[in-house]
Amino acid sequence: MKRRRLLQVGAAGALVAGGLAWLRPADRSAPHTSYFSRLQRMLQHDGPGTACLVLDLDRVNHNLIALRDTMPPKMAYRVVAKSLPCTDLIQQVLATMHSRRIMSFHQPFTNQLAQDFPDADLLLGKPMPVDAAAAFYDRLRPSIFDPQMQLQWLIDTPDRLRAYRDLARQLDVRMRINIEIDVGLRRGGVSDDASFIQLLRLLRDNSRHLRFAGLMGYDAHVMRMPAVFGSPESLQQEANARYAHFLALLRQYGSDLLTMNQDLPLVFNTAGSLNYQLHATASPANEVAVGSALVKPSDFDIDSLDAFQSALYIAAPVLKTASGLRLPGMEWANHVAPLLNPNLAHTHFIYGGNWMATPESPAGLRPNRWYGRSSNQEMLNGGDAARLRAGDYVFFRPTQSEAVMLQFGPLVVVQAGTIIDRWPVLSAR
């Protein structure tokens, strides 16, 4: 009986151990790929020693070629400054795309872009409070940039247009006005015929200080809607039909606005990185705006952008590393946790953290949900194969570019296997 009892206990223990082994997660860890090993060596040799943002110029150039190859025919190109907030980078994009068109979403950026690109055609990407418009004129430095000819303010309501009219009168300037229309995104813009017609009348009645410049209908929702609402192609057709409706109203109620100022082409803007390719046929617009695709953060991992490569990474030095799991008050778990999960075999603390980004290399690293996030010294756990030591780097792929690119100071620009420059980013103030 005693022997039988021991056998039963042993069998039960084996079953429990086997069950735990079956439930035990696989080890996700791996060392740096050759690409990130090269980046690490560059930064260890000539990096800032702090968390920084690495821009791969070879990959940006690859993406520019992909963009040129997939641009809708007969469409003009406008670069989105908020997604690529760096003068040198914007200059590279404009030169390659043979464009001088820039979209700006932030008043301080608009002033800086007018200074850095005195021949640019600037279009505001969102309706600005009238105080922000006043600040632009107040801070505009003397240059050849002429806002009366080169800057389009975006207007979405009759009340905002009246406020801009009053500012234009006060400053004795003439403002170019682009009307934002709602083509399905439901984030703003004119959505009803009466308001649109009222805007046209206000422009006509105040032609000394206001000048019609075009329409903007942003339609990125066509790529983000659940499939139950329709395919991207069908949603794009609906957005185009909505855009065409406002164009018809413009021809009916504002035909004089189309002809009175023929020295500057009218701008009918649409699209973004996610859906610009859907405008290849039967689009009512004459230009598309693309920015993020050129550095391809992870939010832009969609089939239509498969030809584009990730070109932007956060590089964070490893400050400390230790075996096992390091949790305060749970020292007993230090050696137990790796037995249950090989991805907890090592603990690493990095320079900074808690960014809009996910660990990319070495593979298998994850923030510790029990320890919590930190913007100072983030804890990351990983398996044996990551092989990280203090002084090595962890690379993160941003989920977006527009906010992340403003957090690290100058971009560390790499090309052909070496660090070639540091590019300052635009000032948010």
On whether both 43 and 94 belong to a single domain, the answer is: no
Residue 10: which residues within 8 A CB-CB, separation 6 or more?
none
**pLDDT on residue 401:** 97
- Side chain identity, residue 363: A
What the block records as the tokens of 78 is 């406008």
On whether both 269 and 406 belong to a single domain, the answer is: no
**pLDDT on residue 325:** 87
CB 124 within 8 A of CB 105: yes
- Kindly tell me the burial class for residue 197, based on how many C-beta atoms sit within 10 Å of its own C-beta (0-12, 13-18, 19 or more): middle
Last residue of a domain, one of 292, 323, 342: 292
On whether both 148 and 111 belong to a single domain, the answer is: yes
Asked, for residue 100, whether it belongs to a domain, the answer is: yes
Asked, for residue 300, whether it belongs to a domain, the answer is: no
Asked, for residue 15, whether it belongs to a domain, the answer is: no
| Residue 203's CATH number | 3.20.20.10
Tell me which residues of the chain have a pLDDT lower than 50.
1-22
Last residue of a domain, one of 235, 265, 292: 292
| Residue 402's CATH number | 2.40.37
Q: Total domain count for the chain? A: 2
- Measured distance CA(398)–CA(144) in Å, rounded: 37
CB 287 within 8 A of CB 99: no
On whether both 148 and 248 belong to a single domain, the answer is: yes
Asked, for residue 108, whether it belongs to a domain, the answer is: yes
On whether both 66 and 48 belong to a single domain, the answer is: no
Asked, for residue 24, whether it belongs to a domain, the answer is: no
What is the CA angle 43-49-51, rounded to 5? 90
Q: Which of 74, 79, 122 minimizes the C-alpha distance to 97?
A: 79
On whether both 237 and 162 belong to a single domain, the answer is: yes
- Measured distance CA(64)–CA(93) in Å, rounded: 7
**pLDDT on residue 17:** 36
E-state strands within 271-424: 287-290, 312-323, 346-350, 357-361, 366-367, 379-382, 393-398, 411-415, 418-423
CB 252 within 8 A of CB 242: no
Q: What is the extent of the structural domain holding 331?
A: 30-52+309-423
On whether both 247 and 321 belong to a single domain, the answer is: no
On whether both 242 and 334 belong to a single domain, the answer is: no
What is the CA angle 73-78-79, rounded to 5? 125
SS3 content of the chain, % helix, strand, coil (to 5): 40, 20, 35
CB 185 within 8 A of CB 221: yes
Convert the pLDDT of each residue in 320-367 to its tens digit. 999 988 888 777 777 788 888 999 999 999 999 999 999 999 999 999
- Side chain identity, residue 155: I
**pLDDT on residue 332:** 74
CB 381 within 8 A of CB 346: yes
Give whole-number Cα distances, 304 to 80, 174, 204, in Å: 19, 41, 41
**pLDDT on residue 23:** 64
CA 48 to chain centre: 24
Handedness of CA 139, 143, 146, 150 (dihedral sign): negative
On whether both 285 and 149 belong to a single domain, the answer is: yes
The runs of H, that is alpha helices, within 24-81 are: 34-46, 57-70
Last residue of a domain, one of 265, 292, 319: 292
**pLDDT on residue 47:** 96
Asked, for residue 7, whether it belongs to a domain, the answer is: no
Lookup result for tokens 């409070």: 129
Asked, for residue 63, whether it belongs to a domain, the answer is: yes
What the block records as the tokens of 375 is 């913007």
User: What pTM does this model have?
Assistant: 0.92
Asked, for residue 429, whether it belongs to a domain, the answer is: no
Bridge partners (DSSP) of residue 313 are 54
On whether both 416 and 271 belong to a single domain, the answer is: no
Peptide bond into 73 cis (omega under 30): no
CB 282 within 8 A of CB 21: no
Residue 104: which residues within 8 A CB-CB, separation 6 or more?
81, 82, 110, 113, 122, 123, 124, 125
- Measured distance CA(352)–CA(129) in Å, rounded: 34
On whether both 260 and 356 belong to a single domain, the answer is: no
What the block records as the tokens of 266 is 């009218």
**pLDDT on residue 187:** 92
On whether both 76 and 190 belong to a single domain, the answer is: yes
Q: Please give the backbone phi and psi of residue 418, each rounded to the nearest 5 degrees, phi first.
A: -150, 160
